[in-house]
Amino acid sequence: MAEAGQGRTGRLADDFFLMVHDDLSGRPRLSDRIFGIGLAGALLSELVVLQAIDVVKGVVRQIADRLPAGDTDAASPLIADVFRDVQAEQSLPVRDWLNYLSQRASDDVARRLEAEGLVYLKPSPFKALGRPGRWLPHDLASAGWPAIDVKLKIYNGRADQHTLMLFGLARATGLKHPSLWEVEDRLQDPAAWEQTLRPLADHHPSLLELLAHTEVVVGSAVTSGRIS
């Protein structure tokens, strides 16, 4: 929560949301479905980090009876909702969870950021034609920071778990961000990103597996052409 109170919540899905949206225009850099899948991966990752669930052999398992009580910052109402969903189900394939959560993840995370006072919805001038509005940050500098932070930490070899997950989600969803061009080769080259993400395997193998499944679901969406 290092950046909480400075225009960021420090939550993974929130930072990924900010990375995906152009801070000036609010235009998303990913298609709706791919963005949703990435956010779904981020939400599940938040639960993994809270040690509420793990991902083993493609299946999401509940490993805690409740979310940690003291950490209300991390355990937002949205995460509590997702955890309740996990509790209500038997062990389900992680790819089912990614597809399920992706259906509403962008709205849910946007509302969470809105509740924190970090973004606002600018209505579309073509609302009558069914065009959705755009989410814009109140503070441009803070909104642009997650991507810059990823670049700096990856580039300088000082990446923490949060940064590695954002980097991994950018890789899994094929996110192109102008701030990431200096680490573009690491996003493209399998050997380089594998090496970059290796520390995750030591601390949280579930996170690495979650990233891999996110990439599989994105791949399936692109090859089948169902990306809207």
Partner 1 sequence: MPTRSPAPSKVAAALAKDRLGVTSVMFFILAGVAPLTSIEGVVPQAYAVTGLTSVPAAFLVIAVVLCVFAVGYVAMAQRIPNAGAFYAFIAQGLGKPVGVGGALVAVVAYNLLQVGIYGMIGPFMASYAKDNFSIDAPWGVWAFGTWALVTVLGLIRVDLSGRLLGVLSVIELLIIVALSIRGLSHPAPGGVSVKELSPTSLHLAGLGAVLAVAVLGFTGFEQAPVFSEEARDARHTVPRATFVSLGVIAVVYAAAALAMNAYYGDQVIATAQGQQGSEMLFDMAPGLLASVGRTLFVTSLLAAALAFHSAVGRYMWALGRERVLPSVMGSTGANGVPRAASAVQSVLGAVAILLALTFHWDPMGQLFFWGGTTGGFGVLLLLTATSAAVVRYFLKTPDGEQLWRRLVAPAVSAVVLAVIAGLCVYYYDVLLGVPSGSWPTILLPGVFAIAAAVGIVWALILKRIEPQAYTTIGLGSAATLARTGADFIPATVAAAEGSA
Residue ranges binding partner 1 (CB under 8 A)? 27-31, 33-34, 57-59, 85, 88-93, 95-97, 99-100, 103, 172, 174, 176, 188-191, 194, 201, 205, 208-209, 211-213, 215-228
**Across the strands, what pairs with 134?**
122
DSSP letter, residue 53: E
Give the nearer residue to partner 1 in terms of CB position, either 152 or 216.
Answer: 216
DSSP alpha helix (H) spans, 116-183: 140-155, 161-173
Minimum separation from the CB atom of position 70 to partner 1 (A): 29
Q: d(Cα 54, Cα 223) in Å, to the nearest integer?
A: 28
Task: Tell me the longest C-alpha to C-alpha distance in the chain.
Answer: 51
Give the nearer residue to partner 1 in terms of CB position, either 74 or 165.
Answer: 165
Q: d(Cα 45, Cα 63) in Å, to the nearest integer?
A: 14
Minimum separation from the CB atom of position 73 to partner 1 (A): 27
**Across the strands, what pairs with 84?**
none
Sheet holding 59-62, edge to edge: 53-56, 59-62, 92-93
Minimum separation from the CB atom of position 118 to partner 1 (A): 22
Give the nearer residue to partner 1 in terms of CB position, either 43 or 74.
Answer: 43
Give the nearer residue to partner 1 in terms of CB position, either 68 or 126.
Answer: 126
Minimum separation from the CB atom of position 191 to partner 1 (A): 5
